């Protein structure tokens, strides 16, 4: 619950104010956002320790003067949506940006969320302790705002460890601003290697501090270090399913020339081929990397699909059909993403209010209309050609590109067996069959239980789905239709269901259930560089990872590809542009294509 006292927005926890009610916008500009004018270039990165109510962010947005902004903030004690709405009733001048901000804002503890305000402003917020947050991030800022509560009330925010860490997140010449002029802050900035001077403070405050980063520091590297992407113009995406088409769309919107190569004669013929599907997160325990990954992916995906005519944001009921699943729901507690209800007639359910029913096949076809898609291009191999690649397809077809993205779904195993030579990669194909019925269940919104059911689309209701690993039968089977009906039979009591069709697709899965997203590693060089990892894995610094230059992958999305494909596309674009990745290091490492090889190397099992 927020509280305004006479002198500002008040924090009981720290017995201090977030901002003063006397000219708070002028104070923000004087202390922080006026730094924008001193930053060179059209693309700037600003970081903030202590996002608070976001006033410094909105003040900065209002001061850009045509510059593009990537703003990265860390906040341990965030406001919820209702509190922020109440606060910003006092700042109507920011309504142009705030209205879109609040639609995308969700608190996800120990994770990073991304908010896009138009095409020129990215806001990344990590919710958690600042020292833990910095371990999860990787960027270089042009400027830092240090705006925690006063050092006397919040000493953790002004520790030696913090200043020692911040220097690794500064470009050479980066400017650090803080309202505080306390001697302990000045001395710790000096000890960390910054040059420091005093500036005139705002209003009754006599002085404030400005520091300059006088050299650029490099963080320790290891086997999961980020790739160095060479400058590129022409992008080739191989695969015309949702992962490939979303990636192509994002790279095209970023200004690159993009070609999509699809082996079939239309898009979305495999795992993305269903008439209807559900956009929802996989709810696992909130402390797991897998759970945070799926929640992060869901938040990003819902924003991507929000304007599609093939999306229906009607919400989804996720039924807790086991004690384990119910425990997972309960562990999340109060959150802004789903509401737990235990009075359902069948099972407790998590109502995911911003989940949606999508039409994957139609959605893919719609994305393809704006892209250069080459049909009948079945990947055969690639070789270096000048500064880029010559990619070869069957029937003697070729495409040149500076950057290649593989999104081949369940066919990705071929890449690592025959092209990139990583025999420790754990990928498999999983056959999935959905059933089309009529006279099924009259639903206000889709649900997921032992099976799932979508709302009717043009008289057809999609239910599913089967999971059969390494089963390559392409034709529909009656026994699979029977299984799909049996899995939702509790919801069909008294119904005479008519089966009117089926659809079979093949999904790519990894051995640990997480997608494969990132730069493709050079497995042969990995085995040489990290051959002693069994004994050296606990050292702080290692040789950096070696990747196949400008080759990226987004694959193994399984049955959650509508969520994770969007997440993967954003990650790849971040990597290619060299900016802060849209998620934490823990999540990114869990998606790294080299992870299976690294695990074997750590155990001394690689020959």
To the nearest 10 degrees (0 to 180), the angle between helices 561-577 and 289-305 is 90
195 and 239 share a domain? Answer: no
Asked if residue 181 is part of any domain, the answer here is yes
Asked if residue 372 is part of any domain, the answer here is yes
Look at residue 350 and tell me whether its pLDDT is greater than 80. yes
Instruction: Say if CB 128 and CB 568 are below 8 A apart.
Output: no
From the number of C-beta atoms within 10 Å of its C-beta (0-12, 13-18, 19+), residue 452 rates as buried
| Weakest mean pLDDT among 14-18, 72-76, 189-193 | 14-18
**548-574: average pLDDT:** 98
130 and 239 share a domain? Answer: no
Q: What are phi and psi of 189, to 5 degrees?
A: -65, -40
Question: Which one has a higher pLDDT value, 375 or 221?
Answer: 375
Say which residues have a Cβ less than 8 Å from residue 361's Cβ, sequence separation at least 6. Answer: 268, 272, 273, 274, 275
**65-90: average pLDDT:** 94
Cis omega (within 30 of 0) for bond into 465: yes
- pLDDT, one tens digit per residue, over 282-319 is 999 999 999 999 999 999 999 999 999 999 999 999 99
Say which residues have a Cβ less than 8 Å from residue 98's Cβ, sequence separation at least 6. Answer: 58, 88, 91
Residue 27 in tokens: 């104070």
Q: What are phi and psi of 416, to 5 degrees?
A: -85, -20
**423-441: average pLDDT:** 94
116-120 contact pairs (CB < 8 A, 24+): 116/303, 117/61, 119/253, 120/64, 120/67, 120/68, 120/69
Instruction: Say if CB 426 and CB 512 are below 8 A apart.
Output: yes
The number of residues in the chain equals 607
Q: Give the Å distances, CA to CA, from 302 to 71, 105, 213, 280, 542.
A: 21, 12, 39, 9, 38
Q: Give the per-residue pLDDT at 15.
A: 62
Look at residue 16 and tell me whether its pLDDT is greater than 70. no
Nearest Cα neighbor of 156 from 287, 50, 16, 19 is 50
Distance CA 238, CA 418 (A): 16
Answering whether pTM is above 0.75, one says: yes
Chain centroid to CA 453:
27
Distance CA 396, CA 377 (A): 10
75 and 140 share a domain? Answer: yes
- pLDDT, one tens digit per residue, over 19-73 is 666 788 999 999 999 999 999 999 999 999 989 999 999 999 999 999 999 999 9
Q: Give the per-residue pLDDT at 193.
A: 95
239 and 168 share a domain? Answer: no
Distance CA 237, CA 552 (A): 9
Instruction: Please state the domain count of the chain.
Output: 2
122 and 238 share a domain? Answer: no
Look at residue 204 and tell me whether its pLDDT is greater than 90. no
From the number of C-beta atoms within 10 Å of its C-beta (0-12, 13-18, 19+), residue 355 rates as buried
Instruction: Say if CB 102 and CB 81 are below 8 A apart.
Output: yes
* Count helices and strands in the chain by DSSP H and E runs: 18, 32
113 and 238 share a domain? Answer: no
Q: Give the per-residue pLDDT at 475.
A: 95
Nearest Cα neighbor of 371 from 559, 241, 552, 506 is 241
Instruction: Say if CB 142 and CB 46 are below 8 A apart.
Output: yes
Q: Give the per-residue pLDDT at 22.
A: 73
Three-state SS at 587: helix
377 and 417 share a domain? Answer: yes
Q: Give the per-residue pLDDT at 495.
A: 80
Reduced 3-state DSSP string for 525-543: HHHHHCCCHHHHCCCCCCC
Adjacent-strand bridge partners of 404:
236, 551
- pLDDT, one tens digit per residue, over 241-273 is 999 999 999 999 999 999 999 999 999 999 999
Q: pLDDT category, 1, cuts 50, 70, 90?
A: low
**538-565: average pLDDT:** 94
- pLDDT, one tens digit per residue, over 446-467 is 999 999 999 999 999 999 999 9
Say which residues have a Cβ less than 8 Å from residue 216's Cβ, sequence separation at least 6. Answer: 140, 170, 171, 172
DSSP state of 150: P
Asked if residue 590 is part of any domain, the answer here is yes
Instruction: Say if CB 460 and CB 436 are below 8 A apart.
Output: yes
Q: Give the per-residue pLDDT at 154.
A: 75
Look at residue 151 and tell me whether its pLDDT is greater than 80. no
Q: Give the per-residue pLDDT at 291.
A: 93
112-116 contact pairs (CB < 8 A, 24+): 112/136, 112/137, 112/296, 112/582, 112/583, 112/584, 113/296, 113/299, 114/299, 114/300, 114/570, 114/582, 116/303
239 and 122 share a domain? Answer: no
> Where does 104-169 show beta strands of DSSP type E?
111-117, 121-127, 141-146
From the number of C-beta atoms within 10 Å of its C-beta (0-12, 13-18, 19+), residue 235 rates as buried
81 and 131 share a domain? Answer: yes
Three-state SS at 123: strand
Asked if residue 32 is part of any domain, the answer here is yes
Asked if residue 475 is part of any domain, the answer here is no
Q: Give the per-residue pLDDT at 537.
A: 87
Asked if residue 496 is part of any domain, the answer here is no
Asked if residue 270 is part of any domain, the answer here is no
Nearest Cα neighbor of 58 from 9, 14, 13, 101 is 101
| Weakest mean pLDDT among 175-179, 246-250, 330-334, 516-520 | 330-334
Distance CA 103, CA 525 (A): 45
| CATH (domain of 162) | 3.40.50.150
Distance CA 552, CA 229 (A): 10
pLDDT, the chain, mean: 94
Q: Give the Å distances, CA to CA, from 493 to 188, 320, 440, 447, 486.
A: 69, 19, 10, 16, 11
197 and 55 share a domain? Answer: yes
Distance CA 318, CA 182 (A): 52
- Look up the domain containing 558 and give its range: 234-243+366-426+512-602
**362-388: average pLDDT:** 97
Asked if residue 239 is part of any domain, the answer here is yes
Tell me the percentage of the chain whose pLDDT exceeds 70. 97
Three-state SS at 574: helix
Instruction: Say if CB 42 and CB 182 are below 8 A apart.
Output: no
151 and 238 share a domain? Answer: no
| CATH (domain of 395) | 3.50.50.60
Q: Give the per-residue pLDDT at 2.
A: 66
- pLDDT, one tens digit per residue, over 87-143 is 898 888 899 999 999 999 999 999 999 999 999 999 999 999 999 999 999 999 999
Which residue in this structure is represented by tokens 């194909």?
A: 429
Q: Give the per-residue pLDDT at 11.
A: 65
373 and 522 share a domain? Answer: yes
Adjacent-strand bridge partners of 125:
73, 113
């Amino acid at each position: 619950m927020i509280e305004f006292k006479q002198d500002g927005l008040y924090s009981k926890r720290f017995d201090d104010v977030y901002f003063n009610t006397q000219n708070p916008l002028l104070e923000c500009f004087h202390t922080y956002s006026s730094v924008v004018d001193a930053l060179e270039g059209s693309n700037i990165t600003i970081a903030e320790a202590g996002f608070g109510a976001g006033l410094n962010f909105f003040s900065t947005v209002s001061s850009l003067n045509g510059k593009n902004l990537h703003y990265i903030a860390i906040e341990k004690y965030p406001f919820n949506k209702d509190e922020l709405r109440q606060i910003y009733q006092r700042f109507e001048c920011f309504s142009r940006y705030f209205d879109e901000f609040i639609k995308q804002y969700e608190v996800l503890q120990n994770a990073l969320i991304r908010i896009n305000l138009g095409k020129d402003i990215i806001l990344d917020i990590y919710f958690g302790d600042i020292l833990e947050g910095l371990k999860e991030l990787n960027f270089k800022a042009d400027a830092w705002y240090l705006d925690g509560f006063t050092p006397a009330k919040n000493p953790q925010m002004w520790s030696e460890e913090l200043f020692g860490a911040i220097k690794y997140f500064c470009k050479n010449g980066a400017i650090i601003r803080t309202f505080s002029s306390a001697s302990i802050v000045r001395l710790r900035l000096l000890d960390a290697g910054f040059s420091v001077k005093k500036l005139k403070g705002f209003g009754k405050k006599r002085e404030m501090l400005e520091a300059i980063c006088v050299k650029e520091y490099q963080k320790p590297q290891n086997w999961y270090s980020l790739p160095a992407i060479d400058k590129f113009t022409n992008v080739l995406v191989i695969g015309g399913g949702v992962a490939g088409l979303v990636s192509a769309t994002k790279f095209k919107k970023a200004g690159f020339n993009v070609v999509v190569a699809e082996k079939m004669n239309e898009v979305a013929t495999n795992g993305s081929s269903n008439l209807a599907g559900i956009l929802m997160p996989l709810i696992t325990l909130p402390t797991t990397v897998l759970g945070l990954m799926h929640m992060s992916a869901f938040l990003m995906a819902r924003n991507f699909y929000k304007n599609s005519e093939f999306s229906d944001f009607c919400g989804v009921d996720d039924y807790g059909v086991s004690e384990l699943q119910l425990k997972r729901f309960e562990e999340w507690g109060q959150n802004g993403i789903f509401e737990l209800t235990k009075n359902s007639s069948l099972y407790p359910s998590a109502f995911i209010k911003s989940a949606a029913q999508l039409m994957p096949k139609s959605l893919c076809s719609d994305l393809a209309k704006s892209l250069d898609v080459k049909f009948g291009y079945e990947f055969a191999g690639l070789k270096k050609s000048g500064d880029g690649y010559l990619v070869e397809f069957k029937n003697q077809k070729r495409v040149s590109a500076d950057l290649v993205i593989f999104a081949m779904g369940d066919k990705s195993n071929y890449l690592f067996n025959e092209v990139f030579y990583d025999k420790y990669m754990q990928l498999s194909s999983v056959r999935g069959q959905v059933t089309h019925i009529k006279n099924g269940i009259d639903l206000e919104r889709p649900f997921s239980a032992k099976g799932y059911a979508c709302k009717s689309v043009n008289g057809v209701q999609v239910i599913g789905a089967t999971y059969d690993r390494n089963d390559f039968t392409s034709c529909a089977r009656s026994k699979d239709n029977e299984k799909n009906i049996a899995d939702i039979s509790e919801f069909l009591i008294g119904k005479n269901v008519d089966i009117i069709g089926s659809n079979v697709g093949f999904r790519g899965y990894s051995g640990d259930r997480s997608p494969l997203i990132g730069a493709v590693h050079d497995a042969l060089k990995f085995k040489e560089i990290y051959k002693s990892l069994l004994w050296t894995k606990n050292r702080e610094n290692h040789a950096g990872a070696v990747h196949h230059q400008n080759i990226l992958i987004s694959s193994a999305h399984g049955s959650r590809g509508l969520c994770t494909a969007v997440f993967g596309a954003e990650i790849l674009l971040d990597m290619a542009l060299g900016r802060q990745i849209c998620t934490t290091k823990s999540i990114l490492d869990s998606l790294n294509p080299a992870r299976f090889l690294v695990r074997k190397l750590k155990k001394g099992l690689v020959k």
